[in-house]
Structure 1
Amino acid sequence: MGQALPKPALRPFLATDTPVLAAIFVASVEELTGEDYSEAQQQAWAGAADDEEQFGKRLAGELTLVATLQNSPVGFAALKGKDHIDMLYVHPGVVGQGVASMLLDALEKLAGGRGAKALTVDASDNAAEFFTKRGYVATRRNTVTVNGEWLANTTMQKTLGDGAKPGAPT
């Protein structure tokens, strides 16, 4: 009989998380986006974590949650303002284990608690299917410049508050 996988847990971002979250960000971009983005695009995108101090300030300036497995960070997500998912990244080694879904569920609840009626995300091409499965609808296609490279993404939106009824099991 197989051994049960440890359950992921959530906690708030701590400044000391910055180096490991920067490494998760880079690994996620480098290992999970190759089918949708060129190597030059991946390097430009991953370069957002080159300045760890700035990366840490970005995470600290938003509502950032860290997903852990056995107390080790394996993913993170950041809510900008009350209604925009700025970042959601998981380590390639935990893809498919529910870490991203757990992070997204938490951000949706927090956004609703902050009074947001809808939540938006600028989803990378490789993440768009994940968000679609979670009820997000594409509203606009974008092209952005990151460190001198053009990258495409899709703005997606989900209306909050329709699904969970008070007192219902989650």
Structure 2
Amino acid sequence: MKNITSHNHSITLRKGANDDLPEMLQLFRATIDEVGKKDYDIQQIEAWKSGAENEERWMKVIRDQYVLIAVTENQIVGFCTLDQGNYIDLLFVHKDHQSKGIASKLYHSIEKEALQHSEKKLTADVSKTARPFFEKVGFQIVQEQTVNVKGIALTNYKMVKTLSK
């Protein structure tokens, strides 16, 4: 008998495409709602989520960035994007699939991509929520910053990691 309760479905990584946008946006909003709660208040979460309304930005992400999608059983469970070869723009993991190593898998693939293009470092603007993860994979805080989104102040961190072959 197969163990039906096993949630160990394999995660596949693939490049992102235009068709993925609706599901990516859904994941983006739902994750911020759920996971951001402990670090940001309602107004801040709403402001952060409003980033999903900027269609132009997301089309640019798909067009100009290196986009990796994590899929299990035909469902997108996470994504990570690399802009200009050395800036991690987006890293989100589905709220129901947290702490399963998906972010690590995505991140390490993205780092490999950067190394293949001889990048010397990676930078990211990281939320309070994601900060422990980024620290775990070797990023350091350059500075704490306050960004204004629709008039609402959000704290995040400019972080950097020096890459070594």
Task: Identify the residue that residue 31 of structure 2 maps to in structure 1.
Answer: 28
Q: Percent identity?
A: 34
Question: Which residue is 2:123 aligned to?
Answer: 120
5, 8, 22: which one pairs with 1:5? 8
Question: d(CA) in 2 for partners of 1:141 and 1:158?
Answer: 16
Alignment of 1:130-169 (within 5 A): 130-161=133-164
The one-character-per-residue Cα deviations of 1:74-96 (angstroms, maximum 9, x if unpaired) are 11111011111001001100001
1:168 corresponds in structure 2 to none
What is the match of residue 71 of structure 1? 74
**CA–CA separation in structure 1 for the residues paired with 2:54 and 2:84:** 23
Query: 1:55 offset after TM fit, Å?
Result: 2.1
Residues 125 and 158 in structure 2, CA contact (< 8 A), matched pair in contact too: yes
Structure 1 residues 21, 141: CA separation in 2 closer, same or farther (over 3 Å shift)? same
1:100-134 deviations in Å (ceiling 9; x for gaps): 11110011101111121111111100110111111
Secondary structure (helix, strand or coil) at the match of 1:37 reads: coil
Alpha-carbon distance in 2 for matches of 1:148, 1:17: 30
Once superposed, what is the RMSD of the aligned Cα atoms?
A: 1.5
Which runs of 5 or more residues in structure 1 are unaligned?
A: 163-170
Shift of 1:60: 2.5
Cα displacement (A) at 1:61 = 2.0
Partner of 1:89: 92
The normalised TM-score by structure 2 is 0.92
Count of aligned pairs between the two proteins: 162
- Report the residue type matching 1:55 in the other structure: W
Q: Do the aligned partners of 1:145 and 1:151 also contact (CA within 8 Å) in 2?
A: yes
Distance 1:117 1:103, change over 3 A: same
Which residue matches 1:167? Answer: none
Larger helix share, 1 or 2? 2
Q: Once the 2 structures are TM-superposed, how far is the Cα of residue 146 of structure 1 from its aligned partner?
A: 1.3
The answer to whether the 8 Å contact 2:17/2:62 transfers is: no
Tell me the equivalent position of 1:38.
Answer: 41
> In structure 2, how many angstroms separate the alpha carbons of the residues matched to 1:72 and 1:36?
27
